[in-house]
Amino acid sequence: MGERPELVLATANPDKAREIAEILGPAVRLVGRPAGLGEVEETGETLWDNARLKAAAVAAFAGAGAVADDTGLEVDALGGAPGVLSARYAGPGATYADNVAALLAALDGVPPAARTARFRTVALVRWPDGSEAVGVGVVEGSITTEARGDQGFGYDPVFAPVGGNGRTFAEMSSEDKHRLSHRGRAFEQLAAILRRKFDERG
C-alpha cells in the first residue's frame, strides 16, 4: 500500500473538522485549514458547486490536495428547503439554534407523517492540477416537533434518521451517527476512492 495522502481541510468549523477526521480515520493525514486564507464565499447553486469552490480555493492557496464538503437538509413540506442554504437558513451569521428554531417555526402545524426530510452531503477532494474525487451520501428521515439530545451540531437535534429507532442524531453516540449519517456515507465513499487511487500508485 502506498503512503497515506495528505489533505488540507477546507472547513474552519471545528465540529465538521472533528467529524471528518473521525470518519476518514487512518485513510488520510489531515492538515488544518491555512490560517492566512480568507473566507470562501459559498455562491454556488448546488452542494457540488459549493464543495468545489471551497476545495479549489484551498488547494490553490496551499498548493496541495484539499478536502471540502457541503451539506443540505431537504424538507419535503418546504419544497426541498433549506437545501443549499441550510447553514444560513435563519439569515447571515445564524447560529445552530437560530436555524433549528426557524425550521421548527416553518413546520409549525405540519403533522409528523408529512415532516419527511433528508440530509445530503457532497464530499470532494481537489488537487492543484484540477483533478477531483467525489463522494455523495444521503440519509432519509423526518423532522421532529421539538429538539432532542445534546450531541452533534446543526440540525442534529431535530432530525430523526431512518434506522435510528426514533432517535435524533443528537441523541446518538458519534459512532452510531457516523454509521447512519449523510456525512459518514459521503466520506466513507470518498475514503474508498482515495484508497484505490493511492493503492494503485503503490
Catalytic residues: 70
Record the cell numbers describing residue 32, joined without a space: 488544518
Q: Coil, strand or helix: which one is 124? A: strand
Among candidate residues 53, 44, 153, the one with its CA nearest the CA of residue 97: 153
Q: Residues 149, 170: contact at Cβ < 8 Å? A: yes
Q: Residues 170, 157: contact at Cβ < 8 Å? A: yes
CB atoms within 10 A of CB 28: 22
Q: Kindly write down the DSSP assignment for every residue of 79-123, as one continuous string.
A: TT-EETTGGGTT-TT--HHHHHHHHHHHTTT--GGG-EEEEEEEE
